[in-house]
Each structure stands twice: as C-alpha cells, then as structure tokens.
Structure 1
Amino acid sequence: MKRSPIRIGISGWQYAGWRGVFYPPGLVQAHELAFASRAMQTIEINGSHYSLQRPGSYQRWHDDTPDDFVFSVKAPRYLTHILRLEGDAVPVALANFIASGVFNLRGKLGPLLWQFPPSMAFKPEVFESFLQLLPHDTEAAARFASQHHDSHVRHPCLETDRKRRMRHAIEIRHPSFCTDEFVRMLRRYRAALVVSEAVADWPYVEDVTGDFVYLRLHGPETLYGGRYSDTALDRWAARISAWASGGEPEDAHHISNLRPRVRSTRDVYCYFDNDQKVRAPFDARRLTERLMPKEALSLEPLDRHAGLSDS
C-alpha cells in the first residue's frame, strides 16, 4: 500500500481518562493500542522516554497495529534531560536505547524524537558531537547498538530484518537554539527541527531542516490541554499541505534566512499532545478529515463515543 506523506496522530495512548470516552466502555486495557491504531495513522511511543522498553513490548506493538501504521519513538530522558548529551556515558546510553528493541517495529519504525528540556541551552560542540553519533539507517544502528551495556539491556535486540531509513526529530525549548548555526547544523546532519506549538514560553519555529516535517501540538488553552477550534485546525491543515507539497507556508516563522531546498513532496508527522480532557484523539481525527477525507472514512468510527461532543 502506498503511504500518504501526511500522518496525523497522538502522543501516547494509555490514559485513564480516555477510557469510556475515546475508548469504548468495557474495552480491556490490553486492546487499547489496537483500537487507537485503527482510529489514526501514527502514535508517539512515550514510555521509551522514561525507561528502556523491552524487545517483547516493541514486538507486541508491531503485531497489534495495522500493516501501514507508523510509530515515532521518544528517546530516553536519561540522554536528553540527565546526561544532557555530555560525558562518556552518552554513546553507551544511545547504544542501550537502540538495542532495547526498536528494530522489532520493522517497517513501522518512524522518526526518533529527541525532546530537550527548557533549561537546556544550545552548546554547539555538544550538539554536533551528538548529531554525529545518530545513525541514519538500521544497519548502521545495529552496529552502533553492539556497544550496549549488558547490565542495562539484558535481552538486546541487535538484528534488523533489512536496511531501513532512520530519521531524527529535535524538539527545543530554550531560546538559545534560535540561531542560524543551529539550523545549518541540523541540515548538515539531516535532522528535523520540531514545530512545537504550546502556550508555554518555548521557541516556536518552522525552519525545515530535514526531508520531513515533525509537528507536536501541545494544546491551545493550557499546556497539554484545550480543544483546537475549527479555525485553528483550518490553519494547521493549510500549513501541513504546504509542507507536504514540498514548499512552506508563505508566513513561515524562520530562524535562518537560508531557505530549504524545494521538493516535490515531504512526509509530515503531526501529533496532538493535548491529552487533558481527552481532546487529542478527536482533534487528530478532525484534522485528518480536513486533509485526507477519504483516509478518515477508512479509520475506526468514533462518533458513537461520548468524547466526540464539544461539551
């Protein structure tokens, strides 16, 4: 099946408040991913941010989802928030993450998301050293994963079914990153700068630095909360259409004056992170209906569930 260059979904899927609202009453927790993955096209795996997951978990997530489904995987906070990319432990920690089972997603492995804390400033030499480590295909990643530490990864997954592309998305939350040097660095290493929209005091930037665009929508009213209005979704639909067609919105918010190379198409990944009050999955569907009405019709219907109302 030919995949759409646009994929719209949610950040995580295991939320108690979604049960009986997004998830049908009586649906057992073990079946929530199967339901969610048939209601949208992509999901961010969040648990990998807080602890190393197991190969069996990645295999189960692969098996529970449709053939054309894609996961993004959120990289460990141990690397981004604790080590802050500095020190001799960084290569081993990266190897541990890769060896933890991500290869078991096979063709459903999408971008790896690297989210950095608001307190972390841009240090050019630190970031360049880190970007140099990141593998861009699964064969290179498997070689790198051989550096894992057995005490942290007891059952390493070091084999891939075939050579596949690996993409990296970088989410910044400190204004010191808003420099031409940082944008040029990301383009040099083919990493995408995340378009991160939130009411928090984080930089909002739309520089295209990779061959794909990655968006995270954290809520229009509060951090991780609020329903996106029809006007807001219309605006996002227009911007995503511009990126997906290989261009940019006319009023794109840039750091750098250097424009990206125009392409015939670009893949776009968009994740709703307004989890509170169960808005994320329904806003994701509303945006999907604007951009891909035919694909939206083929997804699991949601209108029978209470959470679809605006109340």
Structure 2
Amino acid sequence: MAKRASNEHATVSGPIRIGIGGWDFAPWRGVFYPPGLKKKDELAYACARLSAIEINATFYRTQSPATFAAWTSGAPDGFVFAVKAPRGATYTSDNDRAGAAIQHFLGSGLDELGDRLGPILWQLAPTRKFDADALEGFLRELPQKLGDRKLQHAIEARHQSFAHAEAAAILRAHGAARVIVDSDAHEMTGDVTADFVYLRLQRTKEAVETGYDAGALDLWANRLKTYAAGAVPDDMPRAAPDVHMPKVSRPVYAFVISGAKVRAPAAAMALIARLQEK
C-alpha cells in the first residue's frame, strides 16, 4: 500500500471540510501544482492542502474497486471524498431504471473508500422539474447504509421549481441534504434538510488570484461557521423560512467547483485559512 500523505495543512475549525472537484486538471499544473510534480503525486499534494475532494469521474463512468482503493491509499487519515453519483442514476425520470443504476454504482467498489467516504452527490438534470411523487420515489431508492456505514445523500436539484417548501419537506423526511449552490445559473436556497450541509461554490473569477475576493471569502467563511454551529445564516434565501432544524453542530462540506476552475484550489485554501484564524 502506498504511503499516505500528510494532511497537516488542511485542518479547519469544527466539522467543516473544504475542497475542490477532482484533482486531475491540466490548467492547475504550474498554478496549483508546482512545476515538475509528477501526475501520480497530484492527489497526495491536493490532499495535503485541502480537507475534502469531490470525485466527479464517477459521474461519467463506472470505476473499479482497485481504483477506489488506490484513491483511499493516496489520501491521509481524516481526509474525506464526496462522490458524485453516475448520471445514469440521476438523469432519468424512470425510478426503476434509476434504482438499478444506484445499486450498480454502490456495488462498484465504493466501500473501498472506507472511512474516507463522505457524502454522495446526486445531481439531477437541470431540466428536471419538481414533482413530489417522483422525488419521493427517487429518494426511496437511496439506501441508508453501505455495509455497516451510514450513507449521507446530497441532492443537487437545479431547476428553479425545487425552490419550494414542499421539496424541502420531502428532503427532510428522507434525511437528504439539499445542495446549496452559489452560481449565476441556478437559484440558491440555504435551507438545512439533513444532519449535514453540502455546498458547491461556483462564482470564482480568473482575474482574482484567490477566486473569490476578500469580502466574499469572509462572507462564506462566516456562513460555513454558522451552518456548522447548527443555524442558518440570516442572509441566505430559504424555500421554507418558517421551518427550523434542531440547532445542533453538524458537518459542513463546501467545494469550490466550476466558475473559473483554475482558481478553485486557491479559493478553497483561502477559505481554509480564514477558518483557521482565531
């Protein structure tokens, strides 16, 4: 088994994990990754500077148990991978077909991640409109456990019709987190619907060295702390503003992804630095 990398630079206060989407991205070489770093060492380099990574290769194709095991051995103790579920499971309106794809995905070697397995991201098609019965049916297909491990399910519903109190209520009933997306393309709702919070930050700008400017980084750092403490930030729009989850500390996962992707690692590291400040 490969020697695991150190994660000493990635510790953040409280149950907050911050990362990026994937780690194999050519424009990061020479910007995030130092010149001359071997491609095989990029995962370890990223893990040493972040506290989570959202794996997106699983969205496009089935991975093997050996691949999951290799990712596990390349990450340090305490590191977490969120895993993006395959589009075959999320881009269909046929829940029977989705159920078969879900079972295939969960049986493909996901358990090889062991205690490095974090939330599973289920990204619905952007054209999929809210339908209460269809959403209920889909959520019933998601198992609560993989072996003895409790699963965390995060639903990214991108159609504006999901910004609805009934959608939030259904997600709460199933313990699934509504993904909070900071994007120009989709409406953001900040409701908490599970015992964890999952965010995807997509407004990085290439002209800004840290992706988000100082004001935006401070804003998001404070929001993440508020979510981790069990509350909802006052400035976040909500589909169900009158519904409140129990105010208990909960894990928060935030991934800087899309936008000016070349700046994503810098933005994630800048957020980590802010959370480490006294």
Structure-2-length-normalised TM-score: 0.90
Partner of 1:78: 88
1:244 equivalent to 2:252? Answer: no
One-letter code of the match for 1:60?
A
Q: Which runs of 5+ in 2 are unaligned?
A: 1-10
Partner of 1:193: 178
Aligned with 2:37 (options 27, 39, 44): 27
Partner of 1:137: 145
Per the TM alignment, residue 26 of structure 1 is displaced from its structure 2 partner at its CA by 1.1
Aligned with 2:272 (options 276, 280, 288): 288
Q: Alpha-carbon deviations, 1:24-73, whole Å to 9, x = none? A: 11111111111101110000000000011111110000000101100000
Partner of 1:13: 23
Q: Conserved in 1, the CA contact under 8 Å of 2:89 and 2:102?
A: yes
Distance verdict in 2 for CA 1:285–1:116, change over 3 Å: same
One-letter code of the match for 1:89?
R
How far, CA to CA, are the matches of 2:171 and 2:113 in structure 1? 26
Q: Conserved in 2, the CA contact under 8 Å of 1:198 and 1:218?
A: yes
Aligned with 1:175 (options 153, 160, 164): 160
Q: Alpha-carbon deviations, 1:106-128, whole Å to 9, x = none? A: 00000000112221111211110
Partner of 1:205: 189
Partner of 2:111: 103
Q: Alpha-carbon deviations, 1:207-242, whole Å to 9, x = none? A: 1000111100112459xx992000001100111111
Partner of 1:216: 200
Structure-1-length-normalised TM-score: 0.81
Q: Which runs of 5+ in 1 are unaligned?
A: 140-162, 295-311
Q: Conserved in 2, the CA contact under 8 Å of 1:10 and 1:43?
A: yes
Partner of 2:130: 122
Partner of 2:7: none
Partner of 1:303: none
1:53 equivalent to 2:63? Answer: yes
1:228 equivalent to 2:212? Answer: yes
Per the TM alignment, residue 101 of structure 1 is displaced from its structure 2 partner at its CA by 0.9
Q: Secondary structure at the match of 1:88?
A: helix
Distance verdict in 2 for CA 1:126–1:261, change over 3 Å: same
Per the TM alignment, residue 96 of structure 1 is displaced from its structure 2 partner at its CA by 0.5
Q: Alpha-carbon deviations, 1:67-117, whole Å to 9, x = none? A: 110000000011212xx2415322211110001111000000000001122
Q: Conserved in 1, the CA contact under 8 Å of 2:227 and 2:233?
A: yes
How far, CA to CA, are the matches of 1:252 and 1:277 in structure 2? 24
Aligned length: 266
One-letter code of the match for 1:172?
A
Distance verdict in 2 for CA 1:27–1:2, change over 3 Å: closer
Per the TM alignment, residue 199 of structure 1 is displaced from its structure 2 partner at its CA by 1.5
How far, CA to CA, are the matches of 1:106 and 1:170 in structure 2? 22
One-letter code of the match for 1:257?
P
Q: Secondary structure at the match of 1:279?
A: helix
Whose Rg is larger? 1
Q: Secondary structure at the match of 1:130?
A: helix
Q: Conserved in 1, the CA contact under 8 Å of 2:21 and 2:54?
A: yes
Distance verdict in 2 for CA 1:55–1:7, change over 3 Å: same
Distance verdict in 2 for CA 1:98–1:117, change over 3 Å: same
How far, CA to CA, are the matches of 2:247 and 2:42 in structure 1? 37
How far, CA to CA, are the matches of 1:237 and 1:259 in structure 2? 24
Aligned with 2:121 (options 101, 113, 125): 113
Per the TM alignment, residue 4 of structure 1 is displaced from its structure 2 partner at its CA by 3.9
Q: Alpha-carbon deviations, 1:179-232, whole Å to 9, x = none? A: 2111100000000011101121x121001000111100112459xx99200000
1:39 equivalent to 2:49? Answer: yes
